[in-house]
């Protein structure tokens, strides 16, 4: 990979982290309400995976999707405005934290129903194949979605019809407050792809370069051969399930152990060691990103709320 590409991956990871930290701060101060699920600790998965995509490829995610939307290219101000419920938001202030949507960048949500977007991603893959296009769909979801019927139905059809969909399990070990060991009869979830005769992979989701390598292969296979794939990325969220979750179900020692594997710090050390980046570059990144995130908050704060009449716009009936 070229140096500029590696630097950009680090920049995006830091942007995701600082945006999420600011979002948490804004939630705490009452700037927006409802549910807010932070992605802090998992940045290597979204950045590593999506760095293997083209701009015209499609991405769908679950409700922990702020970072995915940013990495796909959405403006931080428009994303923050959506959290604030303002009409300048990516979903016109109607979706909020869990329903980010940016069709111009082929980011198709933000879905709050667990596993509910997996069939949609499969449908997008079907449409691309039907129309003879060479784009790829990447669908991100948590390990809790694997136990939904929609997961199995979708993988079966994707394999049967040879659709260009890469399914990614972001396994952060906890479905809300329930550990994987208490919820699943098997722990290597990627092996479920065997049932559907589908290629599969298991990766360290805290290492952005390992994520990138596996997704390079999966995306190329989906694009050229229309072969779907199931990838399980083992990651870890440093915050609770949502802002309302104190995460008492895990120990302080467990969290501290995982924080030593912080994907941003690990990647920074690698790039510094290989002379790809300097400490001054990192300082400049931090300064630029801080300014960008602060401007996003200022934009969201000054933006107007949707008019009452907007309730009747963008409806099916």
Instruction: List, in order of start, the domains of the chain with CATH numbers.
Output: 3-300 (3.40.50.970)
Q: Does the pLDDT value for residue 157 go beyond 90? A: yes
pLDDT value at position 39?
98
Mean pLDDT confidence for 41-52? 98
Contacts of 266 (CB under 8 A, 6+ apart): 206, 207
pLDDT value at position 75?
98
pTM score, whole prediction: 0.96
Quick: pLDDT tens for 172-198: 999 999 999 999 999 999 999 999 999
Q: If pLDDT is split at 50, 70 and 90, which confidence band does 316 have?
A: confident
Q: Does the pLDDT value for residue 125 go beyond 90? A: yes
CA 235, CA 171: separation in Å to the nearest integer? 6
b/e per residue 262-297 (b: at least 16 CB within 10 A): bbbebbbebbeeeebbeeebbeebeeebeeebeebb
Q: If pLDDT is split at 50, 70 and 90, which confidence band does 317 have?
A: confident
């Amino acid at each position: 990979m070229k140096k500029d590409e590696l630097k950009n991956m680090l920049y995006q990871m830091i942007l995701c982290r600082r945006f999420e930290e600011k979002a948490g701060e804004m939630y705490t101060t009452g700037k927006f309400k409802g549910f807010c699920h932070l992605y802090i600790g998992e940045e290597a998965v979204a950045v590593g995976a999506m760095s293997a995509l083209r701009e015209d490829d499609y991405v769908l995610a679950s409700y922990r999707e702020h970072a995915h939307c940013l990495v796909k290219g959405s403006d931080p101000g428009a994303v923050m405005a959506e959290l604030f419920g303002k009409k300048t938001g990516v979903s016109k202030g109607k979706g909020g934290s869990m329903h980010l949507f940016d069709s111009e960048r082929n980011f198709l949500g933000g879905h709050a129903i667990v596993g509910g977007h997996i069939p949609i991603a499969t449908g997008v893959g079907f449409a691309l194949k039907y129309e003879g296009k060479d784009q790829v769909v990447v669908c991100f979801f948590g390990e809790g979605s694997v136990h939904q019927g929609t997961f199995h139905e979708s993988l079966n059809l994707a394999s049967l019809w040879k659709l260009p969909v890469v399914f990614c399990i972001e396994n952060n070990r906890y479905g809300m407050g329930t550990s994987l060991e208490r919820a699943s009869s098997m722990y290597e979830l990627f092996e479920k792809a065997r049932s559907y005769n589908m290629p599969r992979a298991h990766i360290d989701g805290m290492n952005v370069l390992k994520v990138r390598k596996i997704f390079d292969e999966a995306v190329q296979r989906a694009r050229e051969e229309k072969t779907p794939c199931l990838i399980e990325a083992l990651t870890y969220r440093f915050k609770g399930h949502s802002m309302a979750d104190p995460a008492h179900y895990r120990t302080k020692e467990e969290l501290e152990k995982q924080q030593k594997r912080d994907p941003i710090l690990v990647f920074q050390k690698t790039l510094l060691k290989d002379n790809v980046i300097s400490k001054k570059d990192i300082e400049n990144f931090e300064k630029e990103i801080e300014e960008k995130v602060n401007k996003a908050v200022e934009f969201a704060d000054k933006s107007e709320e949707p008019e009452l009449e907007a309730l009747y716009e963008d409806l099916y009936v």
